[in-house]
Each structure stands twice: as structure tokens, then as C-alpha cells.
Amino acid sequence: MAEPIIRAQQVEKFYAQPSENRIQVISPTDLSIVPGEIVALLGPSGSGKSTLLRMLAGLSQPSAGEVLWHGKPISTVRINVSIVFQSFALFPWLTVLENVEAPLKARGMAAAERRERSIKILDTVGLDGFQAAYPKELSGGMRQRVGFARALVVEPEVLFMDEPFSALDVLTAENLRSELLELWQKKTIPTQSIFIVTHNIEEAVLLADRIIVLGRNPGHVRTDFKVTNLAHPRDRKSQPFTQLVD
């Protein structure tokens, strides 16, 4: 197996509570993201999916344990990841093209190069001709396409997605999902790996090479961590459907 890009070792997260003891949201967890795979993190609402994603993406510190980026503590190195959010999180005062250019601008890329790359990625996600539109003029599905373009324009090593289709109607979500998978399989998405958070089992099974399940154990510690390997649909004939790892 390839060396992981990201490796979590015994990561835990506690949140302080005003009136009681702290709540454990993530119990000690080991997991890796290796190049070339789509990993889905599946669990019910409140099971700690976003919390775990934020730690893996270097946005929040674990309460215990460690997240490594190519073997080094993630907080000590420069990392290249992007996150697509459920709520799109576009800048309403910027055009589609300007939204996509924004992360490149923040990295100091020259105007001509940044424009060229942004236009190219907008074409890839099916937004050719929408460069000058503003987010409010677009449907939810189109807005999320802009979200994908803005995340991918920096060519992240890992593309994180936190419930990226949850705000969309069923049909739009289905279309975007299968387009994403098609682009991934054609290797036209400029990222090494995708880590997608979802509460939708079907989505996880459709997209992922590997599914990590965050269970909920109400009352006390809320996480009951199980890692399950599912063969990808295209490989299922030759592999066992599930393999319980933990």
C-alpha cells in the first residue's frame, strides 16, 4: 500500500461543556488517507464527522493523539488541501471567476496564470460560460460546481468535502455525484485523494473505495468507531463486500 498522505494516530477530541464534564466526541481513532483513493466518512448527524474532518485537514488540534502529513506533525508543515462545504461558502460580492481565482490570488499567483487555471477548472466542472455570473444568479447545483472549482483550482493533495450534496435536491445531487465519479475515474480531477463526509449510505457506497463509519452511542461516549473496507463497485466481483477492521 502507498505511503499515506495523512495519518491520524489515536486522535481524540473533547469539547468542554459549561455545566458538566467535557464530552468526548471522537474516541481514539487511527486512520490514513493514501493517494488514489476516495474515502467516505459515514455517520449520523452529531456523530463527530465534521470534527474528525477538521482535525484531518489541519483546521483544529486533536485533544490527544496526532495527525501526520507525509509523516510530519500536520501543524508544523505547509499542507495543500481544500474543503468543499455543504453551504457552498462562496463570496456573494465576487463573480464566479473571481470566486475561483480567490485562493490563487491569496497564494500570490500572477493574474494571467490564475485566470488561465481558473477558466480551465470551470470548464472541467461544467461551468463554461458562467465566469461573469454572480452566485445569487445560480441554482444550488451550479453554486456547488463553483465550490468544487474553487477547491480544485489549487490542485490540493487531498480534497475534503463535508456533506457537499446535502443542500441540493435529490436529482441535482445525483447528477453532481455521478459527474464527480466520472471525472475521478477519468483522472481529470486535479487531486490525489478525496475524503468525503456524508450521512447518506448510498452516497458512500457509490463513491468510496473505503468507508469509515462513525457510530453513535447515546448517553455516554458518543462515538463507537468502526472501520469497514468496502470493495469499490467496479471491483466487487473479486473482493469480499465488507471487511471489519476494528
For CA atoms 77, 83, 89, 93, the dihedral sign is: positive
Which C-beta is closer to ligand ADP: that of 63 or that of 95?
63
Which stretch in 45-53, 72-80, 172-180, 203-211 sits in contact with ligand ADP by CB under 6 A?
45-53
Distance CA 52, CA 130 (A): 34
CB of 214 to ligand ADP, least distance (A): 7
By CB under 6 A, residue 45 contacts ligand ADP: yes
Question: 44, 43, 39, 72: which is closest to 58 by C-alpha?
Answer: 72
By CB under 5 A, residue 51 contacts Mg ion: no
Which stretch in 39-47, 96-104, 130-138, 151-159 sits in contact with ligand ADP by CB under 6 A?
39-47
Which stretch in 47-55, 68-76, 102-110, 184-192 sits in contact with ligand ADP by CB under 6 A?
47-55
Beta bridge partners of 69: 6, 72
CB of 98 to Mg ion, least distance (A): 28
Q: Which three cell numbers stand for residue 114?
A: 490564475
Which C-beta is closer to ligand ADP: that of 119 or that of 208?
208
Distance CA 97, CA 99 (A): 5
Which C-beta is closer to ligand ADP: that of 26 or that of 74?
26
Interface residue with ligand ADP, options 24, 39, 43, 211 (CB under 6 A): 43
CB of 81 to ligand ADP, least distance (A): 18
By CB under 6 A, residue 48 contacts ligand ADP: yes
Which C-beta is closer to Mg ion: that of 49 or that of 145?
49
Contact footprint for ligand ADP (CB under 6 A): 15, 25, 43, 45-51
